[in-house]
Structure 1
Amino acid sequence: MKKVSFAEFGGPDVLRLIDAEEPHAGPGHIRIAVRAAGVNPVDWRIREGQMRKVRPTALPAGVGLDAAGVVDEVGEGVDGVEIGDRVFGEGTDTCAEFAVLSAWARMPGNLTFEEAAGYPSVMETALRVIREVGVQPGRTLLVSGASGGVGSAVLQVARDRGIAVIGTAGAANQDYLRGLGAAATTYDEGWVERVRRLGRVDAALDLAGSGVIRELVELTGDPRKVVSIADLAAPEFGARFSNMAGSVTEALAETVRLLDRGALHIPVEKSYPLTETATAHRDSQAGHTRGRRVIVV
């Protein structure tokens, strides 16, 4: 099969499309013929070697955690899924023609493979950080870097739970944030004062890693109410760096519930063929994403 791989840590140019042995579904796992794979910031952070201390990576390594496709192998002990089912979920090396998933759910009938591929890690992360920051209904959550996949999910989950949200993003994404129910402002000079004018901040999330932890602590008044998924230096300010994934199976169940109710939609900003995975990584690293990017296989 064809698979995207890298043999050394570095920039997007280290990615190669190679011929590889097909993986197979062991006990408790399934294999899918991949139709689309999600592109997440964690993918290029792993590729660059940023995550080696918290997520050791043996080289050569594959790329990708999220995927959607058609089940073609079912491992021992797996119930409730059959060959031919359309599923989305999380596994390893998903930027490939075949991938093994460790967590999955049946795709709602109205989802395309491209749409489904971007949800698993995004929703697991969004649900985790909302839980970790401890924001309650009726309170206000500030989201720094709110227009990407995780930010889009956080805004919609928060709205569904009765949590008010203030979001920061680039000028081009202000209407997008407002459409998701957030009070919005840009993150350029003077953003702290603009946030203050929008209302009291009870908790804050850093999703972009743009060096704003000190300001988020200042706005909340409590470093325990600040969580980052992108700034390894967050603990230096008393805030939390969140990297321990929770239950993807539970996140997928919540995703399906919200999708079925029409309470969740994260747009696919751009799709790329497998041969252009490096370009997808490069674009993801450039930021300013509205929604998600996916690889079509």
Structure 2
Amino acid sequence: MRAISYRSFGGPEVLEYGECEDPKVGPDSVLVRVCAAGVNPVDWKCREGGLDRLLDAVFPVIPGWDVSGVVTQPGVSVTEFAVGDEVVGYVREDMLSRGTCAEYVAAPVRTLARKPRNMSFAQAAGLPLTGLTAYQVLTRALRIREGEVLLVHAAAGGVGSAAVQLALHLGARVIGTASPANHDWLRALGAEPVDYAEDLGEQVRELTGDGVDAVFDTVGGATLRRSEALLPAEGRLVSIADPEVVGLGGRYVFVRPDAEDLRRLGEFVEDGVLSVRVAETFPLERTAEAHRRSQEGHTRGKLVVTVDWGEADLGGAD
């Protein structure tokens, strides 16, 4: 099969497009013909060796954890899916090796759910990591309740925009940080935008008259530290970007595959609660360009790599 892979850690230039061994399909996995793969910041952080302390790398590594595609072969013990089923998945293992930027991926059923009917493959590939991260943080770590005020950092990004939509569905009032160019889009989602400037606290208090009940940090660093002052003593602080949040009395969250959570997200999509905006698509052979674009930051929505099989409807931006 054709795939993107890298044989050592490094910049985008280490990514190679070429032939790789076909994946073996374990008893509890299915072979998925990849139609699209989402690109997330964690992909280039892994490529640079940033997660080497957490995950062993078995080179050559095929990057990518998000996928949408079609089942072509169920494993011998699989009853959940059949040939021809359209699926979406967050296919993360406890090592770096067999990712989703390839023509095929062997995906454990614990990582998969059926693709929402009202999503293109490109849109669906942008759902798993960002949607699961937002859902798991909001419902399990922050436990957002109706009527609370939530501050979401980088609210125009993939995780941030999912968090805005889901938090509003949970009944929260949402304030989101973003560059001014993205403020109108955040308003359209239902959030109240503020800038990243050093006077963040003043901007938030102008809107609320006080602070906020909870903070969902996707940036880290100084932005995270400024957020602490906006919380009351019983406030909740969660970061997915900076483990130093623990020293500030908050929680650090790393998203995990969960088929039931992913199925629930699919229901939100089909019910019109949650949508995914595709900012840009790249053919598989241009994955390095997608990584570069991700590293630039400030993307509104999701970056997606696509595999052209001819008959698949990959759709486009919302």
TM range (shorter): over 0.9
**One-letter amino acid of the counterpart of residue 13, structure 1:** E
Letter paired with 1:294: V
Name which of 108, 124, 128 aligns with 2:116: 108
- Runs of 5+ consecutive residues of structure 2 not aligned to the other structure: 92-97, 308-318
Where in structure 1 do 4 or more consecutive aligned residues deviate above 3 Å?
221-224
**C-alpha displacement at 1:240, in angstroms?**
2.0
> Higher mean Cα deviation, 104-113 or 252-261?
104-113
1:295 matched to 2:305? The reply is: yes
| Residues 1:126 and 2:138 aligned together | no
| Higher mean displacement: 149-158 or 127-136 | 127-136
The separation in 1 between residues aligned to 2:253 and 2:267, in whole angstroms, is: 25
TM superposition shift of 1:176: 0.9
- Structure 1 residue identity aligned to 2:250: A
Residue 86 of structure 1 corresponds to 86
- Structure 1 residue 125: deviation in Å? 0.6
Identity %: 41
Instruction: Give deviations 1:75-132, integer Å, cap 9, x for gaps.
Output: 1211132111211112241000101122212223221110111111111111111121
Give the match for residue 16 of structure 1: 16
Cα deviation digits, residues 246-269 of structure 1 (max 9, x gap): 442122111111112111111100
Is contact 2:220-2:242 (8 Å) kept? yes
TM-score by length of 2: 0.88
- The SS at the match of 2:58 is coil
- 141 and 55 in structure 1: CA distance in 2 versus 1, 3 angstrom threshold: farther
Q: CA deviation at 1:224?
A: 6.6
Q: Is the CA contact (8 Å cut-off) linking 1:89 and 1:120 kept in structure 2?
A: yes
- In 1, the alpha carbon distance for the partners of 2:199 and 2:298 equals 19
Distance 2:132 2:147 in 1: 23
| Residue 98 (1) aligns with residue 87 (2) | no
Instruction: Give unmatched runs, 5+ long, in structure 1.
Output: none
Maintained 8 Å contact 1:217/1:225: no
Q: Distance in 2 between matches of 1:212 and 1:51?
A: 22
Q: CA RMSD in A?
A: 1.6
- Structure-2 residue corresponding to 1:237: 248
Amino acid of the structure 1 residue aligned with 2:258: V
- Determine if contact 1:223/1:237 at 8 Å carries over to the other structure: no
| Number of the residue aligned with 1:263 | 273
1:194-213 alignment to 2 at 5 Å? 194-199=203-208, 200-213=211-224
Q: Give the aligned partner of residue 140 of structure 1.
A: 149
Q: Does the CA-based 8 Å contact 2:186-2:193 persist in structure 1?
A: yes
TM-score, length basis structure 1: 0.94
Please name the residue that 1:216 is paired with. 227
Q: Is the 8 A contact 1:120 1:251 kept in 2?
A: no
Describe the SS at the equivalent of 1:145: coil
Does 2:177 match 1:168?
A: yes
Cα distance between partner residues in 2 of 1:15 and 1:236: 36
Paired positions, count: 296
